[in-house]
Chain A
Amino acid sequence: MNDLDTATGAVVALRGITIRFPGVLALDGVDFFLRPGEIHSLMGENGAGKSTLIKALTGVYSVDAGTITVGGAERVFAGTADAQDAGISTVYQEVNLCTNLSVGENVMLGHEPRRTGGGIDWRAVHRQAREHLAGLGLEIDTRSTLAAHSLAIQQLVAISRAMVLDAKVLILDEPTSSLDRGEVAQLFAVMRALRDTGVAILFVSHFLDQVYEISDRITVLRNGRLVGEYPAAELPRDQLVSRMIGRELDELAQLSQSAERPIDRTVAPVLRASGVGRRGVLSPADLEVYPGEVVGLAGLLGSGRTEFVRLLVGADKADEGVIEVHGAPARMSSPRHAIQKRIAYSSEDRRGEGVIGDLTVAENIVLGIQARRGWMRPIRRAEHDQLVSEYMSALGVRPADPNALVRNLSGGNQQKVLLARWLATAPELIVLDEPTRGIDVGAKADIQRKVAELAADGLSVIFISSELEEVLRLAQRVSVMRDRRKIGELDSALVDLDQLIDYIANEGEGSAA
């Protein structure tokens, strides 16, 4: 069982995989090969079939046609346990461990060494866990509860557990979405170490930089079909993207031109924050947004961008500082206050704090308006229907069914519905927190285009994105944050991406905290 597939030298070979769901052909005759000692990225936008392929590989889905070969032997997975037994381990975005248990227990759970009496030998459990973690270069108190550690550490513990299970194949699904730069570097170091011991690693991420930094090979899927498999060094970025979405992306370049328009800064700003902060969460910071202006917030994960805007819109309460709307001081201690002042906030946690999955598209869209009107004044049917269809077509929500449940929509369309809800309230200022995270390239472009349009029409926007190019593309000014502090402000017309990255990394170093 430790043989490789003779034709390709792969430890895992998928051939002709076809999977059908009611009404949709998710995968159509896809071939995919994972070789030992390589880091392989799977790329493709929404609906491309990445997720489905991985689920076939991990035993979540059964295949309608095609074969799966592991270690040279053909396998049929009846469930996730089968895949695990075959040596395929997965670490998901939500780190599927039990945070209420200790680190050591999580590593050894299900394989705890036992005493002669039959009970668990806890000393041995923690000793072995320590050894496994040390094998990845980690020194952690194995008796501490997993919940006491950061997500980055939890992920590494999950990887360590995979090694306990003697995995030959490690699948990492969007592992870097919540990590800061240092944590990503630590993860990549661990991945490279594992690769060098012969493990095959499947890396799924939509951060193109990271994909190029870490991958040896890249496989591209589109619309359920295999587009091709390439060595990473031989596939330029623009070619990768065009293969993923099947069209060129220079339409986005036009947007940055629209950002270069004059902003009138002599009038009172729509929103001004002076010394707004919250103990333990954010150092006092200032911000001004003028009518029709897009202000970007840039910084690494954990720099405090989300925390800052949440204070501005009343999602969290500030300890100090003053917030003024159109020059007059405003109380912002609950989201309703912000909404009354025509400030809208689109949360970065789209599923948890944004859309309401079990309600329909129509209900989600009118929710903002309805909440503001209060329960005693429902929106009339005719007005309701017209509003919904207007926004659905303006933003291109698919499928175009107002009665579809939002939880069945793709991430990109969910974001559009969320945006529609806020735009329907006719805000003067809208705060968009990571509106393009985790959605396909096509929808990303749609949303950015919409934001640029609205700003040009006079809407003020505060825009947060981890993709710094987006921020530079859309914003006139960029406020930079690091470590829960605002460290400066830049004119977007005067900096390019490298300068911005440099500023984020180095500005303010050596100066008093």
Chain B
Amino acid sequence: MKKLVRHRLFWPITALITLIVINTAARPQFISITVRDGELYGALIDILRNSAPLMLVALGMTIVIATRGIDLSVGAIMAVSGAVALTVIDTSGAPGSLGTVFVALVVALLVSLVLGSWNGLLVSVLGIQPIIATLVLMLAGRGVALLITGGFITTVTSAPYKFIATGYVVGLPFALFISAVAIAVIALVERRTALGMLTEAVGINPAASRLAGVRAKGIVFGAYATSGLLAGMAGVLYSSNIMAADANATGLYIELYAILAVVLGGTSLMGGTFTIAGTVVGVFTIQTLESTILFLGVPSAQAPVFFAIVVIVVVLVQSPRLHRLARRLLSRRSRDDDAGRPASQTKTPVEVAS
């Protein structure tokens, strides 16, 4: 039992399941799935579909965080990507053609890859702190997106493009497939190859990794480029959903939600060991929470209050101090109990000769 509790996914999954149970108790139709015209509908399906942009961004964020970095620019990259894609479609002669949409996608993703690589260059080659390096794009990116759309909110009509976010394939939302493919690819690349372990090594100790012969610069660069690419795809999804490129609203605060998802899933912000599965659980938790809040009739503008409470509860639960308190309250004074030791002792001790 102890081993189950200690498993790093225990708390995240418990939280998600608790949330689903509470929802189902409040509105039994939460878990009902209806079939219409061969397509599945329902609150759970909505969650799977609507979580796609956040899922993509959070996956990229997980890898970046593993290298001891952070990517604050993902929202801005989403905005740029949506602006680029819609502008391509808008200025083409045939907005409804599959070819145009394909070109728009390629261009948007390419631009996003370039932006992500820009971040990667700043961090890995120039050695700039990730918060600052990505802050630059976060500040400037939305301005760039606004310039691309000429200061307006570009709207287009294009059936193939709309399909991306709202279409169905074999009864399930297409967006879900995009999420699934991204998860599968990332998980396979990170864990079936040695990339995951090398990334963790770089995140924990870049200097030692370099001396050990790890291509640290390449790994860090790749992480940011990937994050950019995924954000670009998320931007396409978002703009496809509303069929508009709104430079100010696209992906607003999504970097914060993504970081929250990663932390909820159990990956540490300090870098190093990471978990894709945890992030996936974290994203679903956030999406379910949002669905819950909307169902409760809370105006979406007030939703952040609930997320704040979630964040606080999560970090408190993960906090070692709380564990110590709980252990002291629950167990009898045993020989294993380290109660009575000053707090400084349980932190990494000063290296004193022993």
Q: Interface of A with B (CB < 8 Å)?
A: 20-22, 46-52, 54-55, 59-62, 78-80, 92-94, 96, 173-174, 204-206, 315, 335-336, 339, 345, 347, 351-359, 363, 367-368, 370-379, 407, 410, 421, 438
Is the Cβ of B193 less than 8 Å from the Cβ of A378? yes
- Chain B minimum-CB-distance residue to A44: B354
Which of B194, B210, B345, B351 interacts with A373 by CB under 8 Å? B194
Is the Cβ of B208 less than 8 Å from the Cβ of A356? yes
**Secondary structure of the B contact surface, majority rule:** loop
Q: Does B273 lie at the interface of the complex (its beta carbon under 8 Å from any beta carbon of A)?
A: yes
Most chain A beta-carbon neighbours within 10 Å: one of B200, B219, B273, B351: B351
Most chain A beta-carbon neighbours within 10 Å: one of B194, B340, B348, B353: B353
A174–B344 Cα distance when bound, in Å, is 21
A485–B87 Cα distance when bound, in Å, is 64
CB of B252, distance to nearest CB on chain A (Å): 34
Is the Cβ of B195 less than 8 Å from the Cβ of A375? yes
Q: Which 7 A-B pairs have the closest CB atoms?
A: A51-B354, A371-B213, A375-B195, A51-B352, A339-B213, A378-B194, A371-B214
Is the Cβ of A173 less than 8 Å from the Cβ of B353? yes
Using Cβ atoms and an 8 Å threshold, which residues of chain B touch A173? 352-353
Q: Does B341 lie at the interface of the complex (its beta carbon under 8 Å from any beta carbon of A)?
A: yes
Is the Cβ of B341 less than 8 Å from the Cβ of A50? no
Which of A20, A50, A204, A352 interacts with B207 by CB under 8 Å? A352
Is the Cβ of A367 less than 8 Å from the Cβ of B201? yes
Using Cβ atoms and an 8 Å threshold, which residues of chain A touch B204? 356-359
Q: Does B35 lie at the interface of the complex (its beta carbon under 8 Å from any beta carbon of A)?
A: no
Q: What are 24 A-B contacts with C-beta separation under 8 Å?
A: A55-B352, A60-B342, A60-B344, A61-B342, A62-B340, A62-B342, A79-B342, A92-B350, A92-B352, A174-B353, A345-B211, A347-B211, A353-B211, A355-B208, A356-B205, A357-B204, A359-B197, A367-B197, A367-B212, A368-B212, A370-B197, A370-B198, A374-B194, A410-B354
Using Cβ atoms and an 8 Å threshold, which residues of chain A touch B209? 356, 367, 371
Q: Does B265 lie at the interface of the complex (its beta carbon under 8 Å from any beta carbon of A)?
A: no
Chain B residues numbered 181-220 whose CB sits less than 8 Å from any CB in chain A: 192-195, 197-198, 200-201, 204-205, 207-215, 219
Q: Does B336 lie at the interface of the complex (its beta carbon under 8 Å from any beta carbon of A)?
A: yes
A20–B337 Cα distance when bound, in Å, is 10
A396–B194 Cα distance when bound, in Å, is 27
Which of B341, B350, B352 interacts with A62 by CB under 8 Å? B341
Is the Cβ of A376 less than 8 Å from the Cβ of B193? yes
Is the Cβ of B352 less than 8 Å from the Cβ of A336? no
Q: Interface of B with A (CB < 8 Å)?
A: 192-195, 197-198, 200-201, 204-205, 207-215, 219, 272-273, 335-336, 338, 340-342, 344-345, 348-354
- Chain A minimum-CB-distance residue to B270: A358
Knowing A62-B342, A357-B205 touch, does A20 contact B354 (C-beta < 8 A)?
no
Using Cβ atoms and an 8 Å threshold, which residues of chain B touch A410? 354
Which of A51, A94, A377, A421 interacts with B212 by CB under 8 Å? A421
Using Cβ atoms and an 8 Å threshold, which residues of chain A touch B350? 92, 94, 96
18 further contact pairs, Cβ within 8 A, besides A78-B342, A92-B352, A357-B204 = A21-B338, A46-B354, A50-B352, A50-B354, A51-B352, A60-B344, A61-B345, A93-B353, A335-B210, A335-B211, A339-B213, A345-B211, A351-B351, A353-B207, A357-B205, A367-B214, A371-B209, A407-B348
A410–B352 Cα distance when bound, in Å, is 11
Is the Cβ of B273 less than 8 Å from the Cβ of A358? yes
Using Cβ atoms and an 8 Å threshold, which residues of chain A touch B205? 352-353, 356-357
Using Cβ atoms and an 8 Å threshold, which residues of chain B touch A46? 354
CB of B321, distance to nearest CB on chain A (Å): 16
Using Cβ atoms and an 8 Å threshold, which residues of chain A touch B192? 378
- Chain B minimum-CB-distance residue to A58: B352
A79–B208 Cα distance when bound, in Å, is 34
- Chain A minimum-CB-distance residue to B222: A375
A339–B215 Cα distance when bound, in Å, is 12
A465–B342 Cα distance when bound, in Å, is 38
- Chain A minimum-CB-distance residue to B268: A358
A61–B340 Cα distance when bound, in Å, is 9
Is the Cβ of A60 less than 8 Å from the Cβ of B195? no
CB of B306, distance to nearest CB on chain A (Å): 33
Using Cβ atoms and an 8 Å threshold, which residues of chain B touch A359? 197, 200-201, 204
- Chain B minimum-CB-distance residue to A410: B354
A373–B193 Cα distance when bound, in Å, is 11
Is the Cβ of B211 less than 8 Å from the Cβ of A375? no
A206–B352 Cα distance when bound, in Å, is 12
Most chain B beta-carbon neighbours within 10 Å: one of A50, A206, A370: A370
A80–B349 Cα distance when bound, in Å, is 13
Using Cβ atoms and an 8 Å threshold, which residues of chain A touch B353? 50-51, 93, 173-174, 204-206, 438
Using Cβ atoms and an 8 Å threshold, which residues of chain A touch B208? 347, 352-356
Using Cβ atoms and an 8 Å threshold, which residues of chain B touch A367? 197, 201, 209, 212, 214
CB of B28, distance to nearest CB on chain A (Å): 45
Using Cβ atoms and an 8 Å threshold, which residues of chain A touch B338? 21-22
Using Cβ atoms and an 8 Å threshold, which residues of chain A touch B352? 50-51, 54-55, 92-93, 173-174, 204
A438–B351 Cα distance when bound, in Å, is 11
Using Cβ atoms and an 8 Å threshold, which residues of chain B touch A55? 345, 349, 352
Using Cβ atoms and an 8 Å threshold, which residues of chain B touch A92? 350, 352
- Chain A minimum-CB-distance residue to B216: A371
CB of B155, distance to nearest CB on chain A (Å): 43
CB of B337, distance to nearest CB on chain A (Å): 9
Most chain A beta-carbon neighbours within 10 Å: one of B192, B215, B342: B342
Is the Cβ of A358 less than 8 Å from the Cβ of B340? no
Using Cβ atoms and an 8 Å threshold, which residues of chain B touch A339? 213
CB of B212, distance to nearest CB on chain A (Å): 5
A68–B235 Cα distance when bound, in Å, is 65
Most chain A beta-carbon neighbours within 10 Å: one of B192, B340, B354: B354
Using Cβ atoms and an 8 Å threshold, which residues of chain A touch B197? 359, 363, 367, 370
Using Cβ atoms and an 8 Å threshold, which residues of chain A touch B214? 367, 371
A478–B345 Cα distance when bound, in Å, is 44
Using Cβ atoms and an 8 Å threshold, which residues of chain B touch A94? 350-351
- Chain A minimum-CB-distance residue to B209: A356
Using Cβ atoms and an 8 Å threshold, which residues of chain A touch B211? 315, 335, 345, 347, 353-354
- Chain A minimum-CB-distance residue to B342: A79
CB of A357, distance to nearest CB on chain B (Å): 7
- Chain B minimum-CB-distance residue to A42: B353
CB of B310, distance to nearest CB on chain A (Å): 27
A421–B200 Cα distance when bound, in Å, is 17
Using Cβ atoms and an 8 Å threshold, which residues of chain A touch B340? 62
Most chain A beta-carbon neighbours within 10 Å: one of B212, B213, B219: B212
A96–B350 Cα distance when bound, in Å, is 10
Is the Cβ of A371 less than 8 Å from the Cβ of B272? no
A117–B197 Cα distance when bound, in Å, is 58
A94–B212 Cα distance when bound, in Å, is 25
- Chain A minimum-CB-distance residue to B273: A358
Which of A93, A206, A358 interacts with B351 by CB under 8 Å? A93
Knowing A339-B213, A371-B212 touch, does A47 contact B335 (C-beta < 8 A)?
no
Using Cβ atoms and an 8 Å threshold, which residues of chain A touch B348? 407
Is the Cβ of A368 less than 8 Å from the Cβ of B213? yes
Knowing A356-B205, A378-B194 touch, does A59 contact B342 (C-beta < 8 A)?
yes
A373–B340 Cα distance when bound, in Å, is 49
A20–B214 Cα distance when bound, in Å, is 40
Is the Cβ of A375 less than 8 Å from the Cβ of B198? yes
Is the Cβ of A61 less than 8 Å from the Cβ of B201? no
CB of B50, distance to nearest CB on chain A (Å): 34
CB of B178, distance to nearest CB on chain A (Å): 25
Most chain B beta-carbon neighbours within 10 Å: one of A367, A371, A374: A371
Using Cβ atoms and an 8 Å threshold, which residues of chain B touch A356? 201, 204-205, 208-209
